Structure 1
Amino acid sequence: MHDGTFHTIGDLARHTGLTVKTVRSWSDRGIVVPAGRSAAGYRLYDARALARLELVRTLRDLGLDLATIRKVVDRELTLPEVAAAHAEALAAQIRVLHLRRAVLTTVAEHRATPEEMDRLNRLAMLTAEERNRVIEGFLDAVLGGLTDPAVAGVRRTLTPELPDDPTPEQLRAWVELAGLAEDEAFRARLRALAEDLTARRARAGDGLPRRDLVAVVRDRVGPAVAAGVDPLSAGAEPVVAALTAGCAEALGAADDGVLSGRLPALLAAADDPRRERYATLLATVNGWPAPESAAPELAWSLKALAARRAGAVDPAGTAVTSGGGGAPTRGQTG
């Protein structure tokens, strides 16, 4: 069926925006068939051929190969079947591209070495089952063998669950988080924290869950940080007292033994930026609200505790300074 008008290859090229070479090539392959020839022997095409050529051009623009296109235009395959299969293939390609972008972005942001880039690329391309094995290995290293009843809950809160259709941000977060999960030093730091906490809970003997130290620090110290209270000032003394009491309760320890014992080391371990980074990445992967940073409160607490342990501040909150002759003197700070 046609309107009686015939087109040369040049006409088809002008109508479709294709090159003459491309139209001729597709005609040679039998994808677009001429309706006849001119007196001079040139191929002529009717309106049906023009419509077919428009379809072929669109399918090529969508990335289909010529062999598949020919089956579509020859009705050996239906267009919806081909479209569905091609859409699925494109989805897989897009996912791979997102993963590659996640790796390259992480490499650029963290100035990774070639060896680190290889590791990140491997982590990015893992299957769901392989991702689970990486995280299970990490959690086993941190929490394995601990009998505290709260461990199962902690394990759940530390587990990333990448969606089947993750966003680029979730993919980037997964790549970096998986790299942290394989960091042996980070694993050892978290293991030490977990062992210390479970040992203190066992000694407390009541079996009740206790608050995380970081949450205690944020609650007790946050207002002082927001108000600009100097950790070495007299005004900081009630805050330090509330901090040590709260941490003693959380640790199941005697109040008078916390300050001179393990508290500074525990807070220093909690202040590890990798711990906070893991929490941030975990929230991104799981689609949770971003956690609030406790770095300012932890830094304030560590400074206040260190000064008091070193005798730089007396129990009344008076800072110890050096006079002109080098002899210790006392003066109010604030």
Structure 2
Amino acid sequence: MVRRGDTYTIGQLSKISGLPVKTIRFYSDVGVLPEQERTPAGYRMYGENDLARLELVRTLREIGVDLATIRSLGERDLRQVLALHLRTVEIQLKSLQRTRAVLRATLDRGDPSEEDLRRLNTLGRLGSAERDALMDSFVAEVGGGNRAREQWLACLREAMVPELPAEPTIAQLDAWLELVELLSDDDYRATLRQMGTEFWKAQEAGGGPDLEGWKDAGDSVVEIVLTAMDDGVEPGSAAAGPVLDRVVPQLGQMHGAVDGPEFRESLSRAYEEHDPRAERHWELVAAIENTPWPHPQTLAHRWIAEALRARA
């Protein structure tokens, strides 16, 4: 067929670009290379812009950009597409690094066990998309429709499920898998949702939690208790009384309560009834991040719980 002006038949486009006619036709059919016109006989015709776009499509496909993303080029500029693809490649690299680390560690340990195979089988659950989906469902279910609690959980979500390092140890991987199982556990979610129901209702009615105020008060409580611990104050000693007199009013402020026998009794009971899985949660986070455990906050609240129990 003869070229007409600045247009090409699909055969001519194939010859110039070096791509098979079948491939060009496929790109046209899926909308990656929209045809500009057809001849009265029904033959597809393409222009100079199509030739340039075809070269771009080929380049993007060679670096792994999917067809759906290429098709959206009409809505996004090329910079956005390449930035998106860079992020995809980086995620894939992290995944491959993790797989390599686990394979190396598995082979170094001798004959693979069923546990080793389980780790390898679950590596696909370690991506940021899977982590986001897990936390979306966790916040929604534990929040129970209470916007104040959901806001609080949303502020903690990045800390609650940290991202694995590019080359995790077996211990870090096992901690991550246990953490995923814990946060997916229906009973654990239900327990957290039931804790402090009345408190969170009051927070929602009051317009939401004072997160900055909570942080300041919580930091102050931890600092006071850790200083007392450094000074050798035992929770069951007489010297612990004045420490409690300083920190319990601040805890009361955080809970919307006034310090007194009733509040101290309810606070002690809350510590006693605290689900140990919640502490295990933060222990797993520390293992994944390779940070010291117990955290200073954990040590401080253990001390407070023991001091209140000694005076019950």
TM-score, length of structure 1 as denominator length: 0.49
1:273 aligns with 279
Cα 1:223–1:95, aligned 2, differ >3 Å: closer, same or farther?
closer
Q: Which amino acid aligns with 2:295?
A: E
Distance 1:101 1:204, change over 3 A: farther
Identity %, equivalent residues: 22
String of CA shifts for 1:180-199, please: whole Å, max 9, x gaps. 32234433343334645423
- The corresponding residue for 2:130 is 130
Tell me the alpha carbon deviations over residues 235-272 of structure 1, each in whole angstroms, 9 at most, x when there is no partner.
Answer: 111111112211101111121231122x1233342774
Alignment map for 1:145-160 (pairs within 5 Å): 145-148=145-148, 151-152=150-151, 154-159=153-158, 160=161
Cα pair distance change 1:142/1:192, threshold 3 Å: same
Equivalent residue, structure 1, for 2:32: none
Residues 232 and 304 of structure 1 are in contact (CA less than 8 Å); yes or no, is this contact kept in structure 2? yes
Q: Deviations over 1:48-92 (max 9, x none)?
A: xxxxxxxxxxxxxxxxxxxxxxxxxxxxxxxxxxxx99xx9x967
Residue number in structure 1 paired with 2:229: 225
Following superposition, the deviation at residue 123 of structure 1 comes to 4.0
Q: Which residue does the alignment assign to 1:303?
A: 306
Tell me, in whole angstroms, the C-alpha distance in 2 between the residues paired with 1:266 and 1:215.
20
Question: What are the Cα deviations for residues 13-35 of structure 1, in whole angstroms up to 9, with x where unaligned?
Answer: xxxxxxxxxxxxxxxxxxxxxxx
Alignment match of 1:260 (pick from 260, 265, 274)? 265
Q: Give secondary structure in 1 for the equivalent of 2:239.
A: helix
SS at match of 2:308: helix
Could you give the per-residue CA deviations for residues 121-157 of structure 1, whole angstroms, max 9, x where no partner exists? 5543225433432232222222241121x63353142
**d(CA) in 2 for partners of 1:134, 1:182:** 7
Contact conserved, 1:123 with 1:179, CA < 8 A, in 2? no
Residues 72-127 of structure 1: CA distance to partner in whole angstroms, max 9, x if unpaired?
Answer: xxxxxxxxxxxx99xx9x9675542335578x79xx9xxxx969984x65543225
Label 1:270 to 1:293 Cα distance change in 2 as closer, same or farther (>3 A). Answer: farther
Following superposition of structure 1 onto structure 2, how do residues 56-205 of structure 1 map, counting pairs within 5 Å?
94-99=97-102, 118=118, 122-126=121-125, 128-148=128-148, 151-152=150-151, 154-159=153-158, 160=161, 162=163, 166-169=166-169, 172=173, 174-193=176-195, 195=197, 197-202=199-204
Cα distance in 2 for partners of 1:255, 1:203 equals 22
Q: CA deviation at 1:217?
A: 4.1
| Partner Cα separation in structure 1 for residue 104 and residue 203 of structure 2 | 44
Q: Where does the alignment leave 5 or more consecutive residues of structure 1 unmatched?
A: 1-83, 310-334
1:298 & 1:237 partners in 2: Cα distance?
Answer: 15
Q: Matches of 1:123 and 1:280 in 2, distance apart?
A: 21
224-233 or 206-215, larger mean C-alpha shift: 206-215
Distance 2:209 2:135 in 1: 27
Match of 1:211, SS?
Answer: helix
Q: Structure 1: how far apart are the matches of 2:180 and 2:250?
A: 33
2:238 counterpart residue number? 234
User: Aligned letter for 1:242?
Assistant: R
Q: Distance in 1 between matches of 2:285 and 2:199?
A: 19
Larger Rg: 1
Q: Give the conservation status (yes or no) of the 8 Å contact 1:181–1:187.
A: yes
Which has a greater percent of helix?
2
The aligned amino acid for 2:180 is A
Normalization by structure 2: what TM-score?
0.52
Which letter does structure 1 place at the counterpart of 2:268?
P
More displaced, 220-229 or 130-139? 130-139
- The answer as to whether partners of 1:142 and 1:191 remain within 8 angstroms in 2 is yes
Structure 1 pair 132/217, CA: closer, same or farther in 2 (3 Å)? Answer: same
Name the count of aligned residue pairs. 209
